[in-house]
Structure 1
Amino acid sequence: MKNLVIFGARGASREGAKRVTVAGVTVSCGIIHTAAPDFAAELSPGHVLVRVRSFSCNYRDRTFFHAMRRVPSHRFTAVGSEFAGEVIRVGAAVTDLASGDLVVGNCHYTGWLINEDGVREGVVTNQASKEYLVAPASKLSRVPRSMTIEEAGAFGLNMQTAYSMVRRAAPKPGDHVLVMSATSNTSLAVLHALRDSGVRVYAATTTTDRDNELEALGARVIHMPRTLKKPTVDRVAREIRGFTHALDPFLDLNGQSAVENLRPMGTYVTCGLLAQNPHSAQDPSLGNGVSASQLLLPAIMKNLSLVGNCIGLTRDLQAALDDFERGRIGVTLDSVWTGNQVGGFLDRTFNDPRRFGKTVFRYAS
């Protein structure tokens, strides 16, 4: 079976392999072939064998590249935390999935880590580039027939997180919702989720050449650097007497600005940090980061609600799938890669500032 892999960074580089640098670590990468699973072997009753057709990486996956810095170059790991695949076989107790179904990962997460059935919550796999995987049926969701293989490979974890953030923020028609780091993949998914909801959406970004795309998602664009002769977050906040909600993928990058520009009784929802590994922690855009007092003092003084969000629930993913089937939302895809385009795929995913949306790798049928 095919595996898109990265090799350890210690020792000689792999002869003929592509090289890519992610999170400060330069590794060899490529497609390798390993033994396929035994298709005749009996599956556990509640499990499903899936053939991965497409997959993508998320910001969190940088951490796994950083971990390869001390790994010998003869060792390797598959990558990716988002996938779409075809059901090959199901266990005897599985009744809601069948051979031939196209599925994505259901990363249902409450924070208990293990659910009442003993199934681990959260991301289905951190090695989505393995061509075959076995997962509990509860960790998979069927996608609409109208969804392409490429769209599905960029959908599950991304949209499940976005829909959870919007659900927990609970904006009402007419509210003013600020979306921080608007060209990040999570924020683009949030913009899709908010589209046509009746709220007034503001997309805050340092990117200067994506106004048309962000406006097409229903947002008013706010440019962050004060040197630009365009609206900045604090200026717009004064115009509208503060935002009612702020949704933010990077607490340590945007948290202070977001809470300072919320109106009293506002809500701030965040799902992560920019500094998820030592290399990212050195990003100059972080400055000195954000302190607890910089977040909590405005929250106390203005009676704000601060909400932490990790992924989402099954119902969040299902709501996103239903909205896609109804044509209410789409998927912002940057590019699709295949064959031996491994280095280009990884470099575009993690390093290229021109990327807008998800990059997807597709295995040939």
Structure 2
Amino acid sequence: MINKAEIKEGSNILVTSVTSYTSLFLLSMLKNYNCNVYGLSYSRNEIDSVKKQFPFIKDIITFKDKNFPKNVTFDAVLDPFADTYFPYLLLNKKLNYYCKYITCGFFNQSSEKKASDVEFKLSLILSHIIIYNVHLIGNCLGTTKDLKEGIDMLHKDNVLPMDSVFTENDDLNDFIIKSFNMDKNRFGKVSFKY
């Protein structure tokens, strides 16, 4: 996702869902870039933990509060959940001309997570993409080389927040509860070491 964003020095970069696993990986890598990084969270959960872990973040915006900084628009958006944020950011002119919006997935699992109060209409979305020359880029995991480089970078810098590590000596049920968003107090990756 970062490679496809083609980040330039001084760019304004928005990372959405800042407490998601994907975003924590992205933030861990963005510390090496000379750009202005902002975060976006749907709720206010764990924002202080993110700020502490990644002090280079200029600001974390909470979507429910809609506290977007004035006069700041984004050159690139790295978004794990396009259906939650993309319509709002596009239709409310938070994206710069030629913005690269890179997404790797959808959230749409509950009506509560619908961030946009604008009804999704494909023609409206497409017209804004065309008018502002927004580059909407879908991204899967990437190549094996991308994955290896990412893991090597994170392993070397040892900066990815780890919530907990389980082994075969632990209760598997505890691992599942902690891993799959059933534990709202989790911050960081939950791993099973075998």
TM-score, length of structure 1 as denominator length? 0.47
In 1, are the aligned partners of 2:13 and 2:74 still within 8 Å (CA)?
yes
Change (3 A) 1:353 1:239: same
Displacement over 4 Å in runs of 4+: none
Deviation, structure 1 residue 326: 4.5
What does residue 159 of structure 2 align with? 330
In 2, are the aligned partners of 1:178 and 1:202 still within 8 Å (CA)?
yes
Distance across 1 between alignment mates of 2:34 and 2:162: 25
Distance across 2 between alignment mates of 1:360 and 1:290: 36
Kindly indicate whether residue 78 of structure 2 is the aligned counterpart of residue 250 of structure 1: no
Deviation, structure 1 residue 190: 0.8
Distance across 1 between alignment mates of 2:24 and 2:120: 24
Distance across 2 between alignment mates of 1:193 and 1:333: 15
What does residue 286 of structure 1 align with? 114
What does residue 41 of structure 2 align with? 205
Distance across 2 between alignment mates of 1:290 and 1:337: 41
Deviation, structure 1 residue 316: 1.4
Distance across 2 between alignment mates of 1:286 and 1:223: 14
Aligned-pair RMSD on alpha carbons? 2.2
Distance across 2 between alignment mates of 1:342 and 1:248: 31
> In percent, how many aligned pairs have the same letter?
29
Change (3 A) 1:346 1:176: same
Superposition pairs for residues 133-152 of structure 1, below 5 Å?
A: none
Change (3 A) 1:325 1:253: closer
Q: How many residues align?
A: 185
Report which of the two has the higher share of strand.
Answer: 1
What does residue 149 of structure 2 align with? 319
State the Cα deviation string for residues 280-304 of structure 1 (Å, max 9, x = none): 2x44222787442343222111111
State the Cα deviation string for residues 133-168 of structure 1 (Å, max 9, x = none): xxxxxxxxxxxxxxxxxxxxxxxxxxxxxxxx0000
What does residue 174 of structure 2 align with? 344
In 1, are the aligned partners of 2:96 and 2:132 still within 8 Å (CA)?
yes
Deviation, structure 1 residue 312: 0.8
Deviation, structure 1 residue 311: 0.9
In 2, are the aligned partners of 1:247 and 1:269 still within 8 Å (CA)?
yes
In 2, are the aligned partners of 1:183 and 1:207 still within 8 Å (CA)?
no
What does residue 265 of structure 1 align with? 98
Deviation, structure 1 residue 315: 2.5
Matched to 1:308, the amino acid is G
Gaps of 5+ in 1: 1-164
In 2, are the aligned partners of 1:253 and 1:290 still within 8 Å (CA)?
no
What does residue 184 of structure 1 align with? 20
1:225 to 64, 69, 72: 64
Change (3 A) 1:347 1:326: closer
Change (3 A) 1:342 1:180: same
Deviation, structure 1 residue 357: 1.3
In 2, are the aligned partners of 1:203 and 1:214 still within 8 Å (CA)?
no
Deviation, structure 1 residue 188: 0.9
Change (3 A) 1:343 1:258: same
Larger radius of gyration: 1
Kindly indicate whether residue 71 of structure 2 is the aligned counterpart of residue 239 of structure 1: yes
Matched to 1:167, the amino acid is N
